[in-house]
Amino acid sequence: MAAGDVEARTEKTNDTPPRRSPFGHALSIVLRLAVLAAIAFAMFALGGFLRFANSLSTIEVPKQPTAHGIVVLTGGSQRIQVAVDLLQKNAAGRLLISGVNTSTTIEQLAKVTGAPVSLFETRVDLDHRAANTTGNAHEIAAWAKKNKYEALIVVTSAYHMPRSMTELKYALPEGFGLTPYPVSPEDLDLSSWYTDFGTIRLLFSEYAKFMLVKFRHLTAGLAGGKSETAG
């Protein structure tokens, strides 16, 4: 056999790619599917966030709301001011301020809102127990049941409203009347949220919390019960 034939045969043998094991092939498919699933999830999450943020920029404040009671979820003095103003306009007969610091007094709240102390003494209740939105919903539900209310005006920040309404609808009886009254902080422009990184970060954080609440309620519903986990 000629030396040239041996060299040619050797080169042909070396050019043959190594055969991939079945395990390696399966692992490659799994990794590709995982990447595609991650991309699909990211696109789904981004689309959901965009819908969430845009819905906040078009949220409307009811002009003359009326109900049995008013509830405000603390998180800023502006929320309490709006709720007290509604009470003074007789939009409802009584107000619950949920999530008040244990050291806060009605005298301090009267001074901050400019309302008379007598208003707080006769028509305002303070909830010192709630430490988060889930706690707010539970305390509000107990307050509404105690007073035999069937309709409430809900006051909180606009970006916090979707999560608050979800928690309240889950805590209150089916068919309970809820009127959202969103408050827009003066330093937060939701109409152009996409132009400010701080606002984008705030809304994305709130969207993540909102989705966790939806997921918790969904899994609790499938399990045939209501979750008591704080959110």
Q: Which of 55, 52, 91 is nearest to 181 (CA)?
A: 91
Q: Rounded mean pLDDT of 29-53?
A: 73
Task: Give the CB-side neighbour count of residue 203, counting CA atoms within 13 A.
Answer: 26
Residue 230 has pLDDT above 50, yes or no: no
Residue 193 has pLDDT above 90, yes or no: no
162 three-class SS: helix
Residue 226 has pLDDT above 70, yes or no: no
130 three-class SS: coil
Q: How many helices (H) and strands (E) does the chain have?
A: 8, 5
Higher confidence at residue 89 or residue 37? 89
- Per-residue model confidence (pLDDT) at position 143: 98
- Per-residue model confidence (pLDDT) at position 88: 97
% of the chain surpassing 70 pLDDT: 80
pTM: 0.77
- Contact of 57 with 51, CB cutoff 8 Å: no
For residues 70 and 144, give the distance between their C-alpha atoms in angstroms, rounded to a whole number.
10
Residue ranges of the domains in the chain?
Answer: 69-184
Higher confidence at residue 231 or residue 91? 91
DSSP 43: H
For residues 81 and 100, give the distance between their C-alpha atoms in angstroms, rounded to a whole number.
14
Q: Which of 95, 8, 35, 62 is nearest to 183 (CA)?
A: 62
For residues 59 and 53, give the distance between their C-alpha atoms in angstroms, rounded to a whole number.
10
Residue 35 has pLDDT above 70, yes or no: yes
108 three-class SS: helix
Q: Which of 207, 213, 218 is nearest to 229 (CA)?
A: 213
Residue 229 has pLDDT above 50, yes or no: no
pLDDT digits (tens, 9 = 90+) for 121-173: 999 999 999 999 999 999 999 999 999 999 999 999 999 999 999 999 999 99
- Class (C level, CATH) for 69-184: alpha beta
For residues 192 and 198, give the distance between their C-alpha atoms in angstroms, rounded to a whole number.
12
The two three-digit tokens of residue 137, written as one number: 């919903």
